[in-house]
Amino acid sequence: MRFEIFTLFPAMFESVLSESILKRARERGLLQVNLHNIRDYATDKHRTTDEPPYGGGGGMLLKVEPIVRAVESVLQGERVPVILTAPQGERFTQRMAAELAQQPRLAIICGRYEGVDERVRQLVVTREVSIGDYVLSGGELAAMVMLDAIARHLPNVLGNAESAPNDSFSSGLLEGAHYTRPSEFRGLRVPEVLLQGDHGAVARWRRESALRRTWERRPELLLSASLSEAERYLLGALAEEWAARAASARHEAATLGAINSLALLDKY
């Protein structure tokens, strides 16, 4: 898969691309990442890429001409998805990463400053994407996140073919607990089921662990997850367990409040 990254700061990508999974994927020819400096496509002697917005306001906007010239020069009319990183974009998800990994070539424009001239969207952008509800200094970090997440879905990029399908969100659930050696550390033991070699039992335990973790941390994900009848029963049991703990916590809080009140009465 080929990535075309358009940025004002291509050097920011060097360390990410020269380590770990992305480095090995590039060395094996599974991933090609081309970095394009938007400043190289500015035509004035100062290579200006940003200007104040018309109508006033704080900050600077990336100019339309260098970006459009860069994208059109690199893509040469080829129909390629062009993503703009922007806080206003649709939320980047695991499902989107898997979808984009089906593309043979993908372009990403890294936003900067207060954003880009609106005509960039109108002329070259096919999709706007945000990695979360917060603002970064620029889209380079967002592009790196997307690049890494998408690359994990490419064939043979990961050492274990089962890794990506078992990642959090891939199955609609958060990933459950994992353990490795030693089997005991400071009194905390690895669950016995993981040590017995029964692959079926291990698979069931991991699924239940994922269900429990999703219930506790991101219960809204369960609304769209594909669940068996047994798993729905387990969730019912978890709900009852949670309700019992909540009731116990309320009772403890009420008892503590009464004790504090009595202590104050004794004081006065």
Per mean pLDDT, which range of 130-139, 179-188, 250-259 is the poorest?
250-259
pLDDT score of 113: 86
* Alpha-carbon gap, residue 173 to 198, rounded angstroms: 23
pLDDT of amino acid 239: 87
Residue 61 located in a structural domain:
yes
Judge whether 213 lies within some domain: no
Q: Check whether 136 is labelled as a binding-site residue.
A: yes
Residue in the block written with tokens 């592009």: 143
Whether residue 202 lies inside any domain: the answer is no
What mean pLDDT is predicted for residues 98-122? 95
Q: Is residue 86 in some structural domain?
A: yes
Global pTM reads 0.80
Please count the structural domains in the chain: 1
What pLDDT does 92 receive?
Answer: 97
Pick the catalytic residue from 24, 69, 114, 148: 114
CA 245 to chain centre: 32
pLDDT in tens, 171-209: 788 889 999 899 999 999 999 999 999 999 999 999 999
Which position among 117, 121, 140, 152 bears the catalytic label? 152
To the query of whether residue 69 is one of the catalytic residues in this protein, the response is no
More confident residue, 161 or 248: 248
Residue 48 lies in a domain: yes
In a domain, 47, yes or no: yes
Active site residue 40: no
131 in a labelled binding site: yes
The CATH number for 48's domain is 3.40.1280.10
* Residue 253: per-residue pLDDT: 73
Has 113 been labeled as part of a binding site? no
- Residue 33 assigned to a binding site: no
Q: Are 49 and 116 in contact (CB under 8 A)?
A: no
User: Is 111 marked within a binding site?
Assistant: yes
Annotated catalytic residue 220: no
> Does 169 reside within a domain?
no
Residue 203 lies in a domain: no
**Mutual angle of helices 140-151 and 20-27, in 10-degree steps:** 70
Q: What is the pLDDT of residues 136-172, one digit of tens each?
A: 999 999 999 999 999 999 999 997 665 555 555 557 8
- Residue 81 lies in domain: 2-151
